[in-house]
Chain A
């Protein structure tokens, strides 16, 4: 299995809702990432987990809360989002937290109303 699986594929939420994005990989990768991608822009790094510990938080607002329950799973909890948070949220993994090939999931297209 060489895939990163993300659910849901699409999500529409109001500004007062709480929702979660899920990501799973079974490649034995020890680094997992959340990226945010706006239309026609490159992915922007949000968080990095290495060996299930948060190693990088790119000054992301607290309304985004990551969680890594185990080495195969990564969640992103969303609360009180703003319309400008609407974007494609991509999960990725790599063998380790070094200059390595990133395997991206197909993303969750999020719309905040």
Chain B
């Protein structure tokens, strides 16, 4: 079945710098790749997603890139702010089990003032 690996597990960046989180997936048939942000004590919330027919997507300070050949995708946050501190989960949806979103293990992002 699908396996999603996420790195790093923790990331600390200076406020205003960029942060990059990387994920790899195993099922070449996966076609939907969302990213969820979970602040401490709160619900996971989708921040950006990308489908396999697109290589890059941006939304203000957040961007996601997808390399289908290498089976990896990345989250880029620019001009980081204190409110970006949270746990970020990448995920992949295998086409064969479209309702079973497989999550990565998570990255705890801390923004240093």
Contacts and interface: CB of A to CB of B under 8 A. Distances in A.
Interface of A: 31, 33, 40-43, 45, 48, 50, 55-56, 90, 97-102, 104-107
Contacts of A48: 99-100
Nearest to B44: A104
Given A40-B108, A100-B32, 13 more contacts: A43-B44, A45-B101, A50-B99, A97-B98, A98-B99, A99-B32, A101-B34, A101-B46, A101-B49, A102-B36, A102-B44, A102-B101, A104-B44
A40 B44 contact: no
Interface in B74-113: 87, 89, 93, 98-101, 103-106, 108
Interface residues of B, number: 23
B31 A99 contact: yes
B45 A31 contact: no
Given A41-B105, A42-B103, A42-B106, A99 B46 contact: no
Q: Interface of chain A, helix or strand or loop or mixed?
A: loop
Interface in B7-64: 31-32, 34, 36, 42-46, 49, 51
